[in-house]
Each structure stands twice: as C-alpha cells, then as structure tokens.
Structure 1
Amino acid sequence: MEQEDTVVLYPAPGIGHIVSMVELAKLLQLHAHSITILLTTGLLDHPSIDTYIHRISISHPSIFFHRLPHTSLSTTTTVSMAAKAFNFININTPNVATTLTQITKSTNIKAFIIDLFCTSAMEPASSLGIPVYYFFTSGAAVLSLFSYFPKLHQETHVSFKDMVGVELRVPGNAPLRAVNMPEPMLKRDDPAYWDMLEFCTRLPEARGIIVNSFEELEPVAVDAVADGACFPDAKRVPGVYYIGPLIAEPQQSDVTTESKQCLSWLDQQPSRSVVYLCFGSRGSFSVSQLREIANGLEKSGHSFLWVVKRPTQDEKTKQIHDTTTTTTTMDFDLSSVLPSGFIERTKDRGLVVSSWAPQVEVLSRGSVAAFVSHCGWNSVLEGVVAGVPMVAWPLYAEQHVNMHVMVGEMKVAVAVEQREEDGFVSGEEVEKRVREVMESEEIRERSLKLKEMALAAVGEFGSSKTALANLVQSWTTHV
C-alpha cells in the first residue's frame, strides 16, 4: 500500500514562532498535504498556546500537533536568554530524531521545515533522507545579513557591541552600525553568538529557504541573495522561496472588551486622522521615555491610539523578556506612568490602552493614518498590507535592519532620531516625526502603492503564489 505524504514543521519555542509556522501550514495544506507540527515542552509554555493549538486543530483538521516529551533546562543564570533557548532546542534533538523516525514508518515525509534556531534538527532529518527547508520569518535583508554573518565573523576579532562608531557593509543592506546587530550576535563571550554563527553557516546546506516577504518589497536584498553575494560560496545557494506577506488572521476569541473598545473608538474618528502606536509583544520603555512619548503626542495635536506595556525598570532595556505571565504585561496603573493629567487633557482625541490591541483590525480601520512601530517584521508586513505610513522606532533584534529597508528602500516610513548611548527619543522628536508622517502625501501614496503590490504578489499569478507552487513542485522532483 502506498504511503500517504506529509510535511513536518518544527518551530522554535514561544507563541510567536508557533503562530508563524501555523500560518505557513495553512498555506501548505491547500496543496493536499497533511501537516504535522512538532512542539517542544518545557520552555516558554503557556496556557494560551494550548488554547490556540486546540482552536487550530478544530478549524484545520489536516494540521496535526505533536508534543515532544518534556525537557528540563538547567537553571544556570549566567548565560543570556537566547543561549538558554538555543541550548533547550539542542537538547530536544534526540526527541526530534525519534519522532521523525516514527512518522516515516506510516507516512512519507516530503519536507521537514525548521525555524533557523532549530538548525540542530537538520542532522537527524538528513540521515533519514528527508529534505530540510528553513522557514525564515524575517525579510530578505535580514536573510542577506545572516548569510553574510560568517564572513563578518572572520573579518572582525572583537564583539560587535564594542565596535562603537563602526558601520558594517553587507550585500543587499544599507550600512548598519555594528552595535545595532541583533542581540545574540553582539557579544563573542555569549554562547548564543557561537550558536548563531553555527545556524548562519549552515543556511546553505538546506534544500531551500522559505521567506516571509515578497520579491517586489525588497528588490535590492532579493537580488543580493539570488546572486549569492551574501553567501560564502556563490555557487552553493539554496533555492529561496518568497511566499509572503503571511499575516496571522484575526481570531474571534481574541476579541476582548478592551479590543472592542479600541475598534469602536476608531470607528468614531474621522478618516485618516489617528496615529497608532504599538511596539510589539515585548517592546517596552522606561517611565521617563513613556512621558516623553506622551508629551510629543500631546504637542503634535493629532489624535492617537497608544498601546502601553508595563514599563521597564532599566532605562536602557527596551523589551520584556517574559511575556507569558500576566503580571509582567498587565496590572499596572496607566495614570501613574504617564504625565500628570495627560489622559484627562487628551481624552477627546486620544485613547491609551494597556498591553494589547487587535493590531491587524486596528490597521485596517479607515481612521488610522500612521503607525509608530518597533519594526518587528510581522508588524512591518501588517503595516504594508494595510497601506499605512509608518514611523520606524527600532528597539531590539533585527529591527534596525528592517528600519533601513522601510525608510530607504520601501520609502513608507520616517525614522526617529535616537540618542547614541541609550536609544532615548525626546518628546520633540516624537512630535516632529508624527507631524512629518501625517503630513507627507508622498509617503501616503507610496504606502498605498506597496499595498497594491502586496495584494498582487499573493494574487493568482503573483510572485508569491508562483514561488509557493515552485516550492511544492520541488518536493515532488526530489523524491
């Protein structure tokens, strides 16, 4: 009897990585494959993940979830969070090997698609003769940077964090300040640096790389990747498939009282009048920075919807690492962290909400005219698809790379000027950039043009639709 075909996906731990993989799975299931998603247990677990998985299992019966056995992580506190996560994924490799072997007994695995951070799973899959693909959830510019990282490593002998004033030149990218490299790459004495070097060195070994972007969005980086300019060996470039923009659909169960309040408030505002400010699931600021933002918004004279997270204790920290506990994200008094009387003075033209807003729906509202964003790639794509001009305020990870693409190549954003030593942004700067993006007809027209291009890419004869067909075709030709 002929075995049934399946595709196996393996995201890194955490809801963000899982949601991205599920969106890819939804796209792939249209091509008559059953999909199995492997999930680790023991790091960044949260009840919301189980709720989400249950919902997807019911709405998409051809997507199966397989929990790997619980794995404990040593409690050493001396290494970074990234190093701990990479070590946890590494420890799970035998579990992945066992599971893949079991699956091959009853089905034919056409492809094994892994997160970049799950590179350690490449070995067991290859030994079983299963083609391995990466799912790259950032854009082409970041793919170019990561592919080029091994070369940067060879050319430099100190940590990027110590290379103050140095700009790195990477094919397909604008010059990038060394100190703005993604955190796990900043310090050579952090084990995460060497893990990242390993991941990036092995990128060319994959059968293909699936990218959540579309060719027309980042043509300079797409060309640099296609030419092999960013790879150590230009002759050894895997197939790259740009299948985006892939955006998580709004979920009915996410509709809370607060989110309904946001949307009904937006529906009462005039067309193209509101600035929306949100800095992702982890982006957060000190109280002094929050007060500068408030002052800038008040002086700008524009209406605003602002999502504020629990403030950080450290002026230099721009993110909350643990987003899985409600105490870190909720339960704080907004009025105590904002300037005295701010909420009262701006109540006729502003709405401040704590922690979360239904971003995809917010951006689709006709009253939203601009988006102040931390430049996380999902947020960038959501802004592009909504055709909303942006103010780029990168905080961490690869967001500085994204900012350069948004401002320099896409031309849909203006960037805030950040203080060199700690990234602080003044209220005057906030006011200036909000006014600039709200008043620029050029950026608005360009944003609408890019929205059309995004819709065309995923349309019937679009570049992303074609790339997806080519990806699926590659599985049948490599049996």
Structure 2
Amino acid sequence: MEGAIVLYPCPGSGHLVSMVELGKLILSNHPSFSISVIIPTAPFEAAATQDYIAAISATIPSITFYYLPPVALPQNAFFSAKDFPALVYQLCQLNNPNLHETLLAISNRSKIKAFVVDIFCNYSSQVSSNLNIPTYFYFTSGANCLSNFIYFPTIHRSSTKSLKDLEDMKINVPGSPSIRAKDMPEPMLDREKYVYQCFVDTALNMTKSSGIIVNSFELLEERACRALANGECAPGDSMPPVYFIGPVVSEKEQGGEQIHECLRWLDSQPSQSVLFLCFGSMGVFYTEQLKEIALGLERSGVRFLWVVRNPPPSDETVRKLTETDPSIESFLPEGFSERTKDRGRLVKSWAPQKAILSHDSVGGFVTHCGWNSILEAVCAGVPMLAWPQYAEQKMNKIFLVEEMKIALPVDASEEELVSAIELEKRVSELTESEEGKAVRERVKAMKDGAAVALKEGGSSRIALAKLAESFGGIHLK
C-alpha cells in the first residue's frame, strides 16, 4: 500500500486552494506519497474552487478529491465575511461522522501517514485521534499571525474582559509588533461568542498536534519564525515542530475573455507605471467608498487597473437601481471612466491577480492584506498599500508595514472610510517618496529571498523535507 497524506481544508477559496497547492508541493518533492483531499460541501457559492479542482483532477492523478455530503446548518447561519469563521467551524464539527466514514474508506486503499487540517477544521482531530492518525495543522496565513494565534489562550487567561472592551490597549506577543486589542481578528474580540471559544480550543489543540505547517518563509518573518520555533508563543504549553514551507501560491488562474483584455491593456503601459487595486473574493464597498477611491485615483494622476465589485444589496444606490446587474459606472462619480480612460482600466468582479502582479507594467498593489495576495505580491516583487477589510487583515497590515516593511499603510476614519485625500497621499508616497523607494527595494529583496527559500538547500525546501520525514511514522491499522 502506498502512503497517503489526507488534507482537510476549509471550503473557502483562499484556504482550499492554498492547501491543495501544499499537496502539489509535497508531491513534486516527494512523489512516493498520494494526496487525498476531503472537502466539506460549502453552504455558499464555491464556483471558483470547482473550476480549480476540475483542472487539478484532470492533470494530477495522484491527487484525489472526496466530497462530504451536505449537512444541515443552524437556521441562523448566513454567510458573509464576518460570519465565515463561525459558519465553517460549525460545518466541520457537524461533518465529523461523514469524515470518519471517508477516512475509513481511504484507509482501505492506502496507509494514511498524516491528516493535515485547516484551523477551521480543528474539531476533526477528535476523529483522527480516535483512528490513531497523526494530525498536523496547515496555517494558511503568516508566521506573525500564527504567533498571535498560538498566544491567544495566554491572552484569554490573563483577563476576564473581552478584547472589544479594551480598545486601544496594546497586546504584546513574542516575535511580533504590538497590536491594539481592537485590531485583533473579529472572532477574538468577544469572549461570549461561540467562535471565540473555537479559537481558544484550536490554538491549544495546535500545540498538542504532530506539527504545524506555515505558508511563509524564514527571511520574510524572521522574528516570528524564531519565536514560534523556540516555543515562546505558547508559555506553559509544549510546542510541536513548526515547518515554514512557503511561499505556496497557485500557479494558474481560471478566467474569461475580459481577463485577457486587461492583460493586453497592461502590455501597452510603461514599465512599473500601473497601480493595481484588488480587495479579495469577499471585499465589497458601499457606493460612498467607491466614489472616494475613484476621486483619489483621478486626483493622483496615476495609471491604474481597478477590480470593482458591486456594493452589497443593502447599499442605498443598489436599492434605487432597477437592473439586476448594474454597470460599474452606476456607483462611481459621473464621467469618471471617460475622464480617466487614457490611463485607467476598470474590471468587474474578478481579474487574474497573479498574472497581473507578475506583469512588468505593474508598480504597486492596493491590497486587502489577505495572506495569499501578500505572498503573490512578494513573489512578484510588487510594493503594497495596505488596506485591510476583515479576518486577520488588520493585523497583517501592521506586520506588513512595521515588521516586514514591504507596504505603506492606508488609514481609515473612525467610520472605516478611506478618503480620496488619504488614498491620493499614499499613492504619492509609494511612487515618489524615500519611504516608498525603501519599500520597493525591500520587497524586491524578499522576492529574491522567496526564490532562494524554495530552491535546493533553501530554508523552505529543508523544512519540507523534514515534514515529509515526519510523515513516515504511525499509520491507520
């Protein structure tokens, strides 16, 4: 029987794609393994991942996908960026009986060497533990974020108050810059919520696992990597081996005709002249904010490629419009597209981000600070303007600006609005100031560092070899 590595991702695209790419990385360096990916049926739209999975299935026979049957979620569960953590924790908890059956079926064909889970699949370790399968966690964000996550039970024990009530109090985590309590991820803010306890449980469980795999590399996050490796982030708890095997980024993207059009437009632009704005798969703005972005871009005089999504249904402008799929221009200042047509391009909803970032014409990236986007920018050597939206992104902004020094901050008002003046100012800083120049040089050095880490003898390649070696142990009888 061949040795199988079973991967259990959360069904959100940023998590699922990253974990499948981890599977591809393991196979490319250690082809004696087979990879089985177990996917819970998502209670939300997952079309983007369906295309991706179909492409993987058609080209890599050593990766097999298993879908768990749908489960009934609580009546009050509905999907938005804010509700995502609680929703997927519940989804994976309810799937434990289905997971048990699937793991038994896989074990009939292969020796299961390791079970690798996303943090949102934490409670699945109850199943793998009963079946005597070594369980590893794959952390799809960076080492600084992991430091804070592993330290979270210590924060929990140190106070009876919720972080949301501590506001500007600074939290000091080994290996990381200090962070205001209110900038911690939403699920960590209210200790009365279900998802808060899920995060505490997960952090504690990770310290008891067979290992933690991190999508980062040592040069990018030196202090955090060292603190994690030395066990400083889990005072009073043991710490398993931590494997920094990144950057793991997807090689190919699915796209349509409009995609090729925006790349053709980039072909006609001067080298490193275009500012790319893209805010992730769940990043949506109200009309007021879209207008401020448009005005900021117009005033800055910069060339730009902007991926724009329609505002949420509750937006006042959306409610007034009769079309089911209104044009982008409906939400922007009148005449904006016409006035900027010689130096700007709007793309609706989606664009091939990795291909755009790798294009010679792109010289800056306004990002929501999602970790996959950050790594794609690092691998392309593109400096960033950090504009967080949800999840751990407010923390990532601090890490990018203060620790890694590969981005400049975009600051919002108390009402979470970024003004046209603020955006114009930051664009100017990135393109013209000494600080912007330093960021550009630093991110180019990190691009080279990422390439070295992945090569033979590089830190990430060595970590991957150690991980594969650790997979050689216990297997399901």
Structure 1 unaligned residues grouped into runs of 5+: 316-329
Tell me if the contact between 1:375 and 1:392 (Cα under 8 Å) persists in the aligned partners.
yes
Match of residue 318 from structure 2: none
Whichever residue aligns with residue 282 of structure 1, its letter is: M
Match of residue 310 from structure 2: 310
- TM-score, length basis structure 2: 0.92
- After TM superposition, give the deviation of residue 42 of structure 1 in Å: 4.9
Distance 1:314 1:159 in 2: 29
**Change beyond 3 A, Cα 1:108–1:477:** closer
Distance 1:10 1:237 in 2: 22
2:459 to 463, 470, 479: 463
Tell me if the contact between 1:307 and 1:352 (Cα under 8 Å) persists in the aligned partners.
yes
Match of residue 255 from structure 1: 255
Whichever residue aligns with residue 115 of structure 2, its letter is: F
Distance 1:42 1:338 in 2: 33
Q: Does 2:469 correspond to 1:473?
A: yes
- After TM superposition, give the deviation of residue 113 of structure 1 in Å: 0.4
Which structure's relative contact order is higher, taking Cα pairs within 8 Å and 6+ residues apart?
2
Which string of whole-angstrom CA distances, capped at 9 and with x for unpartnered residues, describes residues 97-150 of structure 1? 222223223321111100011111112212222111001000001110110001
- After TM superposition, give the deviation of residue 78 of structure 1 in Å: 9.0
Whichever residue aligns with residue 455 of structure 2, its letter is: G
Aligned length: 459
SS at structure 2 position matched to 1:408: helix
Which string of whole-angstrom CA distances, capped at 9 and with x for unpartnered residues, describes residues 148-170 of structure 1? 00111112222222222222111
- After TM superposition, give the deviation of residue 392 of structure 1 in Å: 0.6
Matches within 5 A, 1:168-179: 168-179=171-182
Distance 2:246 2:228 in 1: 16
Distance 1:131 1:213 in 2: 22
Match of residue 11 from structure 1: 9
Whichever residue aligns with residue 428 of structure 1, its letter is: I
Tell me if the contact between 1:43 and 1:85 (Cα under 8 Å) persists in the aligned partners.
no
Which string of whole-angstrom CA distances, capped at 9 and with x for unpartnered residues, describes residues 201-260 of structure 1? 2111110001000011000111111121111335x1111101110111123xx2311111
Distance 2:13 2:206 in 1: 24
Q: Does 2:446 correspond to 1:450?
A: yes
- TM-score, length basis structure 1: 0.92
Distance 1:474 1:391 in 2: 39
2:162 to 152, 159, 162: 159
Match of residue 368 from structure 1: 362
- After TM superposition, give the deviation of residue 48 of structure 1 in Å: 4.2
Structure 2 unaligned residues grouped into runs of 5+: 316-323
Bigger drift between 202-211 and 51-60 goes to 51-60
**Change beyond 3 A, Cα 1:295–1:78:** closer
Match of residue 319 from structure 2: none
Matches within 5 A, 1:99-248: 99-233=102-236, 236-248=238-250
Distance 1:81 1:462 in 2: 35
Q: Does 2:277 correspond to 1:284?
A: no
**Change beyond 3 A, Cα 1:426–1:313:** farther
Bigger drift between 142-151 and 158-167 goes to 158-167
Match of residue 432 from structure 1: 425
Distance 1:203 1:452 in 2: 31
Q: Percent identity?
A: 46
Bigger drift between 441-450 and 69-78 goes to 69-78
1:26 to 20, 24, 29: 24
Tell me if the contact between 1:412 and 1:446 (Cα under 8 Å) persists in the aligned partners.
yes
Distance 1:296 1:429 in 2: 8
Distance 2:51 2:397 in 1: 34
